[in-house]
């Protein structure tokens, strides 16, 4: 290590060790690059928010909560379980074991690939120089050949609802040692609804406050009523077209669009109104780059900002998804290795891990119309599935959108059990420009949920 301002040479520097960053590191090492992976938490940051505090912990809670709920509500299937409950301290131990196992696996791969991991905050100082500020106050200057920015994002809050104490972000909610009796969630996007659904299943009285007129405002309107109805059955209360004003002594004050005020009992308040890209402290001016008002960076098709600096993941436009970041990582590395490449997916799956699950990919009929494409849509309810019936699931649907002239599949929406797994078939079909008829003629196993895609395709009139 060089201390002071004498830079040491580095081949490829990656800032951020989340799914995008570590995927880029492994792919670059495979291509023969010498990689320096920088994360502000060093080894402890491997996996990023997704593995350590977001995707993996939340899905652990969702699975545990669903197991408890199904045990408590399966008497009509002949199953009787008394006193099923979630022990939060025990679940926390399970969650940590999952995180450590997965993070350990990634670290082992990085070590085997010869990737160097450095701890500290990175900031650009010149076109090809950055400094790593370490926790002990030292500075390590790096003169790099190429660099990739993969610094992720952080949760947003607003005045009067700064994180701390009983006001939580999703990470803090997943770190609770006790199940709150009441929980108010500000924001009806996918993060708030996923955790709201899970907490409702383990006995928390959940209220969701959303300023807009429906839940999941960023997703197609067709999915909102199905999920809202299902969550209402869990006891979740929705306050749509309301804003949070203050939180005092276990009560959240909200106001409607008409100015009417009300108080909601809330032992805890979780703010889930979105995230902002982590680009503000990178010294981007030094490399001639400016972020937009949301901190996002405008990249070329090959993910490059300059000939030698690329950006991937939550710091770029598009959905903030781990699998998008990982896919971008491959493109960015290849571009910096001199390959002519581009990130041009036709189908990026988007998932909401609620009950029922929601999964969509490709484009909707409305989006197709904006592009001047005439579409045909066909839809089949989940209750048409024999497999869903055996699982006692009745809420949801499958919808396919295709080009009316060519029959090529353009998009798919699945609302129902295991939608997160089923959507992959639609992604492959869209990327391969398959026709709806191809799905209809492909033999699917019976009885399964997957055959819903075939059955829906077969509803299209010839």
Catalytic (active-site) positions = 446
Find out whether 47 and 103 touch, Cβ atoms under 8 Å.
yes
Helix (H, G, I), strand (E, B) or coil at 449: coil
- CA dist., res. 408 & res. 344, Å (int): 18
Helix/strand/coil percent split, the chain, to 5: 35, 25, 40
Say if residues 305 and 289 touch (Cβ distance below 8 Å): yes
Q: What is the CA radius of gyration of the chain?
A: 24
**Residues counted in the chain:** 462
User: CB 3: neighbour CB atoms within 10 A?
Assistant: 10
φ and ψ at residue 9, rounded to 5 degrees:
-80, 140
Distance separating alpha carbons of residues 419 and 396, to the nearest angstrom: 10
Q: How many CB atoms lie within 10 A of CB 203?
A: 16
How far apart, in Å, are the Cα atoms of 336 and each of 31, 116, 132, 143, 166? 11, 19, 22, 16, 45
Backbone angles phi, psi at 242, to 5 degrees: -130, 150
Provide the phi-psi class of 54: left if phi over 0, else alpha when psi is between -120 and 50, else beta: alpha
């Amino acid at each position: 290590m060089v201390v002071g301002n004498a830079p040491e040479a580095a081949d490829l520097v990656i800032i951020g060790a989340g799914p995008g960053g570590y995927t880029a590191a492994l792919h670059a090492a495979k291509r023969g690059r010498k990689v320096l992976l920088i994360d502000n938490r060093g080894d402890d940051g491997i996996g990023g928010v997704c593995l350590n505090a977001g995707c993996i912990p939340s899905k652990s809670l969702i699975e545990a909560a669903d197991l408890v709920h199904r045990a408590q509500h399966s008497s009509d299937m002949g199953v009787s379980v008394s006193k099923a409950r979630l022990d939060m301290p025990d679940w926390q131990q399970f969650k940590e074991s999952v995180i450590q196992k997965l993070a350990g696996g990634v670290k082992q791969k990085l070590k085997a690939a010869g990737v160097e991991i450095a701890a500290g905050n990175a900031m650009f100082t010149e076109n090809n120089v950055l400094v790593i500020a370490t926790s002990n106050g030292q500075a390590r200057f790096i003169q790099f050949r190429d660099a990739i920015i993969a610094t992720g994002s952080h949760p947003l809050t607003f005045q009067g609802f700064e994180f701390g104490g009983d006001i939580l972000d999703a990470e803090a909610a997943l770190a609770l040692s006790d199940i709150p009796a009441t929980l108010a969630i500000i924001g009806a996007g996918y993060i708030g609804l996923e955790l709201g659904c899970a907490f409702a299943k383990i006995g928390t009285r959940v209220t969701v406050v959303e300023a807009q007129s429906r839940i999941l405002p960023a997703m197609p309107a067709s999915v909102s009523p199905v999920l809202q109805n299902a969550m209402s059955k869990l006891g979740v209360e929705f306050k749509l077209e309301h804003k949070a004003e203050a939180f005092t002594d276990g009560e959240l004050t909200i106001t409607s669009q008409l100015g009417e005020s009300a108080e909601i009992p809330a032992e805890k308040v979780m703010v889930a109104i979105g995230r902002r890209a982590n680009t503000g402290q990178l010294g981007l001016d030094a490399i001639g780059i400016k972020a937009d008002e949301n901190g996002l960076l405008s990249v070329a098709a090959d993910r490059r900002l300059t000939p030698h600096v690329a950006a991937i993941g939550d710091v770029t436009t598009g959905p903030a998804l781990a699998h998008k970041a990982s896919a971008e990582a491959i493109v960015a590395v290849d571009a910096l290795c001199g390959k002519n490449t581009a990130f041009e997916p036709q189908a990026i799956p988007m998932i909401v891990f609620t009950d029922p699950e929601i999964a969509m990919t490709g484009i909707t009929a409305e989006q197709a119309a904006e592009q001047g494409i005439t579409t045909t849509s066909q839809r089949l309810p989940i209750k048409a599935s024999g497999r869903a019936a055996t699982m006692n699931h009745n809420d949801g649907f499958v919808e396919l959108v295709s080009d009316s002239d060519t029959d090529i599949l353009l998009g798919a929406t699945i609302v129902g059990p295991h939608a997160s797994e089923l959507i992959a078939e639609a992604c492959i079909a869209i990327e391969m420009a398959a026709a709806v008829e191809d799905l209809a003629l492909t033999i699917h196993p019976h009885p399964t949920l997957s055959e819903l895609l075939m059955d829906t395709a077969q509803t299209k009139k010839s």
